[in-house]
A and B are shown apart, each in its own frame.
Chain A
Amino acid sequence: MFDLTGKRALVTGASGGIGREIAKALAAAGAIVALSGTRVGALEDTAKEIGKDSPILPCNLSKLDDVDKLVPSAEAAMGGIDILVNNAGMTRDNLFMRMKDEEWDEVIAVNLTAAFHLNRAVLRSMMKQRFGRIIGISSVVGVMGNPGQGNYAASKAGLIGMNKALAHEVASRGITVNSIAPGFIASAMTDELNDKQREAILGTIPANRLGTAQEIAGCAVFLASDAAGYITGHTLNVNGGMAMI
């Protein structure tokens, strides 16, 4: 039921953190996984960890010309796409009153506009094959808001809304469109927190620990699998109980 043998996946932001674990987990479940990201070396490392042939497709998601080549390249490399994971994301934090237009635009472009373009690009073949799984990696910040992250919150909430609208449109064609909203996940970024910061964060998390990238990857495998065939337009909140919604 969770087997993905024969499925072809494209994962953006596969060079590190959550994206890398998602790519590895999809591959472990049997899928062929095309890896996209900006850092080729890191993508090659991911491919090595996967241990089977994984097309490496470098792409800068802030450049729409590049974005629009990504799906055709992935389809050419794998013969089609069954699973798209819009995982790539970036932050440019600033207080609202100080936020520059460029900081807003850049985050919306990478986190939301690129996902729109990629979603649109995979629809044609997914509609034709009457099967598709689109998964957007949102954030608890998109659901709850967070000071200093107006741009990021907007992009991540936008992803959820966009995916719900698309889920309506294509549900009758066997395509599901869902989002995962991770809470605080252990990463290079959270490693840099000092004890006091860490304590403050943990105080808001009933599970009293950070999540792991594997715990997000497992959710992605579930949503991509036949087990989740009747789930669409959903947002899976994976946050240790930090926001029970």
Chain B
Amino acid sequence: MSDVADRVRKIVVEHLNVDAEKVVEKASFIDDLGADSLDQVELVMAFEEEFSVEIPDDAAEQIQTFGDAVSFLTKAVG
């Protein structure tokens, strides 16, 4: 597991108060992890802060699953 994935998982677990085992590649923040739309905005804010990147709104909308977040952020910090 990459460093990026670990950092993303930590944020998701803390923010959504879910078990780390549930935060798998295909896990949808809203459908599987109990997030609402505002949680999703807050997750993106937290990602931006953790990785010191800016995530534009249209990109943020594409980040629906844990895997989406990891691959976006891997590229962004790459």
Contact = CB atoms under 8 A, between A and B. Distances in A.
Interface of A: 124, 127-128, 169-170, 172-173
A172 B38 contact: yes
A170 B42 CA distance: 11
Interface string B17-59: 0000000000000000000001000100100000000000000
B38 A173 contact: yes
Contacts of A170: 38
10 contacts: A124-B45, A127-B38, A127-B42, A127-B45, A128-B42, A128-B45, A169-B38, A170-B38, A172-B38, A173-B38
A36 to B, nearest CB: 25
Contacts of A169: 38
Interface residues of B, number: 3
A183 to B, nearest CB: 35
A93 to B, nearest CB: 38
A172 B39 CA distance: 10
Contacts of A172: 38
Nearest to B49: A128
Given A127-B42, A173-B38, 8 more contacts: A124-B45, A127-B38, A127-B45, A128-B42, A128-B45, A169-B38, A170-B38, A172-B38
A132 B45 CA distance: 17
B14 to A, nearest CB: 13
A172 B38 CA distance: 10
Contacts of B38: 127, 169-170, 172-173
A128 B48 CA distance: 13
Contacts of A124: 45
A170 B41 CA distance: 12
Closest 3 CB pairs of A and B: A127-B42, A169-B38, A124-B45
A74 B11 CA distance: 29
A170 B36 CA distance: 12
Contacts of A127: 38, 42, 45
A11 to B, nearest CB: 26
A124 to B, nearest CB: 6
Nearest to A127: B42
A72 to B, nearest CB: 15
Contacts of B45: 124, 127-128
B47 to A, nearest CB: 13
A127 B38 CA distance: 10
Contacts of A173: 38
B44 to A, nearest CB: 11
A127 B42 CA distance: 8
Nearest to A170: B38
A215 B42 CA distance: 37
A127 B39 CA distance: 10
A124 B45 CA distance: 8
A203 to B, nearest CB: 47
A124 B38 CA distance: 11
